[in-house]
Structure 1
Amino acid sequence: MGAEGDGTLDTFLLAFLPDLDAVLNILKVAIGLGLVIFFHELGHFAVAKWCDVNVERFSIGFGPILFSRKWGETEYALSAVPFGGYVKMLGQDDSDPSQLTSEEIAEDPRSYTAKTVPQRMAIISAGVTMNIITGLMFFVIAFLWGVYRLDNEVGAVQPGGPAWEHGIRPGDTLTEIDDSPINGFEDIMRAVALSHGAIDINGKHSDGSKYSVTLSPMNPDGDKKTRRQIGAVPPMSLEIPAVPDKADQAAIVPGSPAARAEGGFLPGDRIRQAGDEPIERYPQLEAYLAAHRSEPVDIYVKRRGAGEELVKVTVPPQKYRVLGLQMDIGKIEAVRPGSPAHRAGIKEGDKLTAINGREIGDDLDPMRLPEFLDDLAGEEVAITVSREGQGRAPETIEFRLTPESIDDWIESPELPGWPLSITSIGAAYHVIPTVFRVDPNGPAADTHVAALDTIEKVTLHQRDDVPKPFKLTDSKVEISIGEDSWAYVFWSMQDPTIESVELKLKSGSDTKPKSVLVNLTEAPGDWYVPNNRGINTQYKRIDLKADSVGDAIELGWLHTTNSIKDIYLTLRGLVAGDISVKELHGPIGIAQMAYAQADVKLSQFILFLGLISVNLAVINFLPIPVLDGGHMVFLIWEALSRRKPSERVVVAATYCGLAFVLGLMVFVIYIDIFVH
């Protein structure tokens, strides 16, 4: 009886362990963010006491008091709204700004207003100073313990984007942006997002050759881009991760060729070889898979506990899955300078119509052009385009060029808005969501889809048996289609967990859209996915760890000063339109990010606390009434004019500042809930 009861209890506790982890992470977040606020208010409190000011209340949080206790003359409180705190001094109360100009209160030698201007400046700036100091302290501790950074290698480039146009390739390493060193991919994103105008980039290709380019990042354009970007994404490693909460199960995409591989992958496997070729970087793996797309591929991995011997895993090929719909081709979005297309004279805005006399649409599927021309590398081909002219009919022009074979450069439409790229000629184009033809033998043939229908929205539906880590919310994802999104939709359909696609489309003059559900089937013939095959690897990371306390202090100081500069550059970017307000986060977003960091590694969470501390310091010292910076403005005025500002000015400014801060808080909470 006792043994059976103990077993039941053990089972219950094991089932509860993930929830315990979540509770511990929530506690970390609450304590960590509470410490940031506590240290800020402690700065005000300590200097106020040092200046012999009567501190009436020291509160962590705003609003109704949940718990309080009085020691000496000061009440210490924990309030209901945890997004801040305050120190209430005699003569300084934001809820009653008239106290700052009250002559009666100023007569009390222990009131805030009775102190000299330098003393009051010290009290007001103490919270900010404390946050800078504790931010530095958090950074130093994090670097002593070691933190993860994404490698500063380029994982993929957006076809038609600034990086693509200037020859930056997957596998390149970016070393400097505008003379600032790059130590991780986070530095790349930060430097680009906070830039203004053109930027100078130094880097090196995978063969070690160095280069320098000057380019203009893409500016925010609403939903797709909320900050400046160059069109590059972080790199992937060659290590197979584990499924979250299942350390013995590899995070391989269910239903994929990798999941059916002979030999099977295990967590921690590191890919070392493909066929007879050594593999050192992820782009090499993709290039090998693409070159052998229709064949089973032998992948050799270094496995824990297997010694020096490599373990062979044979991965079958992966056919494309289709709806039986051929879409129409759009115009060329971009031509890469120096590419075969550029040298031949093909221009942005041209529309590809034929290759070697075979018409695109009738004879060639636009989705297959990259593979078709890649297979013709080294041979001269005739490419026909339709070019529009102002005030005249489109003209047909034929160009002759030779496609190039470029190793390690696989370009897939991985994100919404990415066009389809023909790497071998250096041109990128969109496939538009207008049906050109319905395959009479395809899965959509029995639906009401017809040629010239326009697809407005796509919903991808997963299989019911997809395990949790790969499960989408409600087992589906909706994608609104624009003129630039079909390639991304088609690429997303290759996820082996997707079994059917719901199309919302419009026919001719019909005002009411119709919806059809189409089951995906394998493409006929020899059309194979060029890369991946469900081999899911983790991001390529580097460990940044100080060698000594002195090194940690140096790294911490650099991180502190850079963080301060970044905040001011962010404000400049918001004003200039280089950064969208959708990049802002409120208390909910901050708590979510803190939780995510706490779930990864304690040192990552401490690094995040350092960033929050510095942000709190800088934002709190902006010249906005109610904030510390607003109080400092009044003190500077008093020091220069040798008289206090009038009660009317102080009260009006304080309430305006309060309205601004509250309005901003509501706005960022709205963004947290409805945007992020």
Structure 2
Amino acid sequence: MDPLIAVDPLFAMNMATFLNIFWVAFGLTWVIIFHEFGHFAVAKLCDVQVERFSIGFGPILLRYKKGETEYALSVIPFGGYVKMLGQDDADPSQMSAEEIAEDPRSYSAKTVLQRMGIISAGVIMNVVTGLLFFASGFALGVEEPDAIIGQVEIGLPAWQAGVEVGDRFTKVNGREIEVFSDVSRAVALSAVDTLVVEGVHRDGKPFKFNIQTDGKSTRPQIGVSETVGMHLIDPGKAEIPVTIPGSSAATADQEFEAGDTIVRIDDVEVSTFPQLQDLLARKRAETLEFHVQRKGTTDVVAIKLKPRRFRTLGLWMGIGKVTAIKDNSPAANQGLKEGDKIAKVDGLEVGTQINPLRLPNYFADKHGQDVEVVVQRPVKGGEPQELTLKLTPLDRPGWIEKPDEGQSVSVPALGVAFQLTSTVLNVVADSPVAGKIKVEERIQKMELILPKGAPSDGYGDKPIVIEFDKKREGDDKETIHNWAYAFWSMQRIPMRSVKLHVSSPGEGGTGKPRVVTLQPKPIDDEWYLPTRGVRLARLMKKRKAESVTAALSMGLTHTKNNMTDIYLTLRSLFGGRISVKELHGPIGIATVAYRVASRGFADLLLFLGFLSVNLAVINFLPIPVLDGGHMVFLIWEGVTRKKPSERVLIAATYAGMAVVLGLMVLVLYLDIFVHWLPGQ
């Protein structure tokens, strides 16, 4: 039978967006309602007159009165409140007023234990509902990134310690690790700078590293991220192609499809990202046949992918200092040190006779052989000392470790990373820059521009701007050396043209910048990329309870861990280990909630559980106007057998209001000016 109704895809998308927004608003509202209902229910149980039950603060938008209680929706969505006779944060004198205390239905007329029960009921309610949110999410089943390492950032502590792609973390400082978010939290919330990280390598051998955290960011980190699996991304409605435009995968004889699974390359079965990465690197110069299983079927399709050569401009840049060395690597074992400068390799001057960007492949090709390396070592107050070292590279392909912003070039075969300057030392004849840029000129900025009419590459339509004079945040003396990152960016988004801002030596070392527009192209017949341009989805771990008891057990564990993490976060904030820039307000919370809701209802339940527990912990902090502040006054009264004076109550309440309002202003500022506007 023919369908009677056709659904417009745009309407379906708008409906999905509307439903996500609805569930987010609905869920956030109920987190607040559950908290305030705890106060309300126990107050009624203790026969306290409840004058108002409000969701939100400030001017009232909607109100409804039933019996003695007014139910209200207020304009500021930071929480809510229950206004009881004898307890009003806006008028703290009520708590010590004798005439109100004489009313048997007033809050202040109740015993200390009754008032403690009323005050703590909201927090207890949030803990209970948080547990139920978590349990419900695990009952439905959620997927989270597995605790397997997919990228080790060049030069950061994990890289230096020897963590490899494919390693699985099982413990960090004794804390059990199940999914990758456990790794992030354990590192960020650690109280010490040195972490004991335990796990297993991809070959099954156990490891135990002592890793020093890096504190240059807004929170401690070690420089690892989650791995991808063998499934291609399924972007849904997002304008992200499953293959990178301009890559081998995008120009193959057949198209890859969303959700395809790579099962074999030629006659080699592949099941993990490290396997795939190693195979592509070692066969980088060969045409390879990818065998992929189509999503939802048993069909396997063979797709031939040609090799990809590096796109270059024809610029050889100056080599900078060695920035990092891996523990127990050939570089470390032969005495290479941070701060050294690699001047010659097998008699070839780096920068004029050999391109420093070719060193990762050069050393890989020489694995097992002695390579003579001349380094210049700085001497305080004198000329650099020249040393000759004999290094024997490992069999580790070049460019399997990709530089991110501000990172160095990695030579996996040696276990060393070095900077590149933005000063030109050599211009290749018949290259895109020949006749346009000269030796000793300096690149100040690069723009990667998507041509008009070109298909989306998943990075938006705006130019990607990479600066070479940029200072590291929080350190005006340290320049971020970005040429390695710029060079790799030309490979990962090959459809884009390049616009360089160039300055001549000129007076004072800088001249007036001029703009040179170029189209990168392969100019070296033997220099092949270790990638083919397929976009792989993150490797996820399914977490699903098999029974109600298991769901409650998982929910309880998650509740305890989240409560502990919130206290650890507060400790790290006050101790300066985490920057206040990590905080989010209502805009940030709503944004994250929407993204989570887009992933599925179970994920939203886990997020609501996190918010519910968060609300419980924050509300019980000893700050006047919060539940914890009221509890402090009640403990005082229980110990001294008398209420705090009206003057103390008023002063403390106004101080608490100032703190809370200050925090509201701070998180709103961070939401708008730190997290939102910079991304626009």
* Both proteins in one fold, TM over 0.5: yes
Aligned to 1:44: 39
Larger mean Cα displacement after TM superposition, 416-425 or 491-500: 491-500
Check the 8 A contact 1:387/1:397 in 2, yes or no: yes
User: Deviations along 1:191-234, whole A, 9 cap, x unmatched?
Assistant: 01111221111111111111111121111x2xxx2211111111
Whole-Å separation in 2 of the counterparts to 1:645 and 1:51: 22
Whole-Å separation in 1 of the counterparts to 2:340 and 2:238: 51
SS in structure 2 of the partner of residue 370 of structure 1: helix
Whole-Å separation in 1 of the counterparts to 2:235 and 2:561: 35
AA paired with 1:109? P
Number of corresponding residues: 661
4+ runs of 1 displaced by more than 4 Å?
466-469, 510-513
Whole-Å separation in 2 of the counterparts to 1:262 and 1:434: 41
Aligned to 1:486: 483
Aligned to 1:136: 131
Whole-Å separation in 2 of the counterparts to 1:606 and 1:171: 30
SS in structure 2 of the partner of residue 371 of structure 1: helix
Check the 8 A contact 1:582/1:671 in 2, yes or no: yes
Deviation for aligned residue 1:81: 1.8
In the alignment, which of 462, 472, 475 is matched to residue 462 of structure 2?
A: 475
Q: Kindly tell me: are residues 432 and 618 of structure 1, through their superposed partners in 2, closer, same or farther at Cα, counting changes over 3 Å? A: same
In the alignment, which of 229, 235, 245 is matched to residue 254 of structure 1?
A: 245
AA paired with 1:477? I
User: Deviations along 1:256-303, whole A, 9 cap, x unmatched?
Assistant: 211111232122221111122221211211111111222221111223
User: Deviations along 1:293-349, whole A, 9 cap, x unmatched?
Assistant: 222211112234653x64211111222222332221110011112111111111111
Check the 8 A contact 2:431/2:523 in 1, yes or no: no
Q: Is 1:351 paired with 2:347?
A: no
Q: Kindly tell me: are residues 355 and 512 of structure 1, through their superposed partners in 2, closer, same or farther at Cα, counting changes over 3 Å? A: closer
Deviation for aligned residue 1:564: 0.5
User: Deviations along 1:341-395, whole A, 9 cap, x unmatched?
Assistant: 1111111111001110011011111111101111111111101100111222111
Counterparts of residues 141-152 of structure 1 (less than 5 Å) = 141-152=136-147
Aligned to 1:390: 380
Deviation for aligned residue 1:625: 1.2
In the alignment, which of 273, 288, 303 is matched to residue 279 of structure 2?
A: 288
SS in structure 1 of the partner of residue 573 of structure 2: helix
SS in structure 2 of the partner of residue 131 of structure 1: helix
Q: Is 1:235 paired with 2:232?
A: no
Deviation for aligned residue 1:93: 1.1
Whole-Å separation in 1 of the counterparts to 2:545 and 2:492: 41
Q: Is 1:525 paired with 2:506?
A: no
Counterparts of residues 456-475 of structure 1 (less than 5 Å) = 456-467=444-455, 470-472=458-460, 474-475=461-462
Aligned to 2:546: 547
Whole-Å separation in 1 of the counterparts to 2:392 and 2:281: 20
Deviation for aligned residue 1:581: 1.4
User: Deviations along 1:79-126, whole A, 9 cap, x unmatched?
Assistant: 122221111111111111121121121111111111111111111111
Deviation for aligned residue 1:397: 0.7
AA paired with 2:535? N
Q: Kindly tell me: are residues 450 and 572 of structure 1, through their superposed partners in 2, closer, same or farther at Cα, counting changes over 3 Å? A: farther
Whole-Å separation in 1 of the counterparts to 2:283 and 2:19: 47
Larger mean Cα displacement after TM superposition, 597-606 or 481-490: 481-490
Whole-Å separation in 2 of the counterparts to 1:555 and 1:150: 17
Check the 8 A contact 1:227/1:579 in 2, yes or no: yes
Q: Kindly tell me: are residues 515 and 230 of structure 1, through their superposed partners in 2, closer, same or farther at Cα, counting changes over 3 Å? A: same
Aligned to 1:564: 563
Q: Kindly tell me: are residues 650 and 443 of structure 1, through their superposed partners in 2, closer, same or farther at Cα, counting changes over 3 Å? A: same
SS in structure 1 of the partner of residue 250 of structure 2: helix
Give percent identity, aligned residues only. Answer: 46
Counterparts of residues 79-158 of structure 1 (less than 5 Å) = 79-158=74-153
Check the 8 A contact 1:333/1:428 in 2, yes or no: yes
Check the 8 A contact 1:457/1:480 in 2, yes or no: yes
AA paired with 1:642? R
Aligned to 2:424: 435
Q: Is 1:618 paired with 2:617?
A: yes
Aligned to 1:369: 359
Check the 8 A contact 2:245/2:494 in 1, yes or no: yes
Unaligned runs of 5+ in 1: none
In the alignment, which of 56, 71, 90 is matched to residue 61 of structure 1?
A: 56
Whole-Å separation in 2 of the counterparts to 1:306 and 1:128: 49
Whole-Å separation in 2 of the counterparts to 1:648 and 1:450: 76
Aligned to 2:207: 211
Unaligned runs of 5+ in 2: 469-478, 676-680
Whole-Å separation in 1 of the counterparts to 2:310 and 2:457: 24
Q: Kindly tell me: are residues 625 and 254 of structure 1, through their superposed partners in 2, closer, same or farther at Cα, counting changes over 3 Å? A: same
Q: Is 1:404 paired with 2:394?
A: yes
AA paired with 2:51? E
Q: Kindly tell me: are residues 568 and 405 of structure 1, through their superposed partners in 2, closer, same or farther at Cα, counting changes over 3 Å? A: same
Whole-Å separation in 2 of the counterparts to 1:194 and 1:513: 47
TM-score scaled by length of structure 1: 0.94
Q: Is 1:73 paired with 2:68?
A: yes
Larger mean Cα displacement after TM superposition, 294-303 or 336-345: 294-303
SS in structure 2 of the partner of residue 573 of structure 1: helix
Aligned to 2:255: 264
SS in structure 2 of the partner of residue 228 of structure 1: coil
Aligned to 2:170: 175
RMSD of aligned alpha carbons:
2.2
Whole-Å separation in 2 of the counterparts to 1:521 and 1:406: 27
Aligned to 1:23: 18
Check the 8 A contact 2:241/2:457 in 1, yes or no: no
